[in-house]
Amino acid sequence: MDLDALTLARWQFGATAFFHFIYVPLTLGLGILIAIIETLYLKTKKQVYSDLAMFLMKLFAINFAVGVASGLTMEFEFGTNWSEYSKLVGDIFGAPLALEGLTAFFLESTFIGLFLFGKGRVSDKVHAFSAWMVAIGGSLSALWILIANSWQQTPEGYRLVESPQGIKAELTDFLAAAWNHTTWIRFLHTVDAGFITAGFFVMGVMAFYLIKKRHVEFAKVGLKIALIFTTIASLIQILFGDLHGYLVAHHQPLKLAMFEGKFQTEKGASLDLFGVIDQEHHQSRMIIKIPYLLSILSYHDPNAEVKGIDDLVKEYQEKAKEYESKIPVIKEKLAQATNPEEKQKLQDQLVEAKIKAHALNIKYEDLPSIALVFTTFHLMVYLGFLFALIVLIALWKLKRGTLYNSKGFLWILVLSIPLPYIASELGWISTEVGRQPWIVYGILKTADAVSPVPAANVALSLTVFTIIYTILFIVFVYAMVRAINKGPNLSPSSPDYNTNAAGNVGVSTAFSQINKEGR
Mean pLDDT calculated for residue range 379-386: 95
Q: State how far the Cα of 302 lies from the Cα of 286, in Å rounded to an integer.
A: 20
Q: At 52, is the pLDDT very low, low, confident or very high (cuts 50, 70, 90)?
A: very high
Residue 515 clears pLDDT 50, i.e. is over it? no
pLDDT of amino acid 416: 96
519 within a domain of the structure (yes/no): no
Beta bridge partners of 162: 167
**Distance (Å, rounded) from C-alpha 474 to C-alpha 482?**
12
Residue 265 lies in a domain: no
Alpha helices in 261-339 (DSSP H): 293-299, 309-336
137 within domain boundaries: yes
More reliable by pLDDT, 202 or 100: 202
Mean pLDDT over 75-100 rounds to: 82
Contact 186, 149 (CB under 8 A): yes
Question: DSSP secondary structure string, 194-251?
Answer: HHHHHHHHHHHHHHHHHHTTSSHHHHHHHHHHHHHHHHHHHHHHHHHHHHHHHHHHHH
- pLDDT for res 324: 93
Tell me the mean pLDDT in the region 106-128.
88
Q: Is 157 left (phi over 0), alpha (psi -120 to 50) or beta?
A: left
Q: Is the pLDDT of residue 422 over 80?
A: yes
pLDDT over threshold 50, residue 316? yes
- Which residue type does 515 have? N
3-state secondary structure of 48: helix
Say if residue 484's pLDDT is above 50.
yes
33 in Cβ contact with 198 (< 8 Å): yes
Quick check: helix, strand or coil at residue 151? helix
| 294/306 Cα distance (integer angstroms) | 8
Report whether the peptide linkage leading into residue 454 is cis, meaning its omega lies within 30 degrees of zero.
no
Residue 496: which pLDDT band, with cuts at 50, 70 and 90?
low
Q: Quick one: pLDDT band at residue 506, thresholds 50, 70, 90?
A: very low
Instruction: State the residue range of the domain holding 436.
Output: 5-260+369-486
Banded pLDDT at 495 (limits 50, 70, 90):
low
End-to-end CA distance of the chain: 59
Query: Does residue 90 carry a pLDDT above 60?
Result: yes
**Domain assignment of residue 346, yes or no:** no
| C-alpha atoms less than 13 angstroms from C-alpha of 168 in its C-beta half-sphere | 17
Instruction: Give percent above pLDDT 70 in the chain.
Output: 94
- Mean predicted confidence (pLDDT) in 209-213: 93
Q: What confidence score (pLDDT) does residue 39 get?
A: 95
pTM for the whole thing?
A: 0.88
pLDDT of residue 275: 85
pLDDT at res. 170: 87
Q: Are 381 and 424 in contact (CB under 8 A)?
A: no
Per-residue confidence (pLDDT) for residue 2, from 0 to 100: 65
Instruction: Say what the pLDDT of residue 461 is.
Output: 87
CA-CA distance, 285 to 276, in Å (whole number)?
5
Backbone angles phi, psi at 226, to 5 degrees: -65, -35
19 within some domain: yes
How much is the pLDDT for 485?
92
- DSSP alpha helix (H) spans, 401-454: 407-415, 418-433
Please tell me the total count of domains within the chain. Answer: 1
φ/ψ (deg, to 5) at 368:
-75, -175
CA 353 → CA 152, 227, 327, 360, 445, distances in Å? 19, 53, 6, 10, 15
Q: How far apart are CA 285 and CA 384, in angstroms?
A: 24
Instruction: Tell me the mean pLDDT in the region 98-124.
Output: 84
- Within a domain: 120: yes
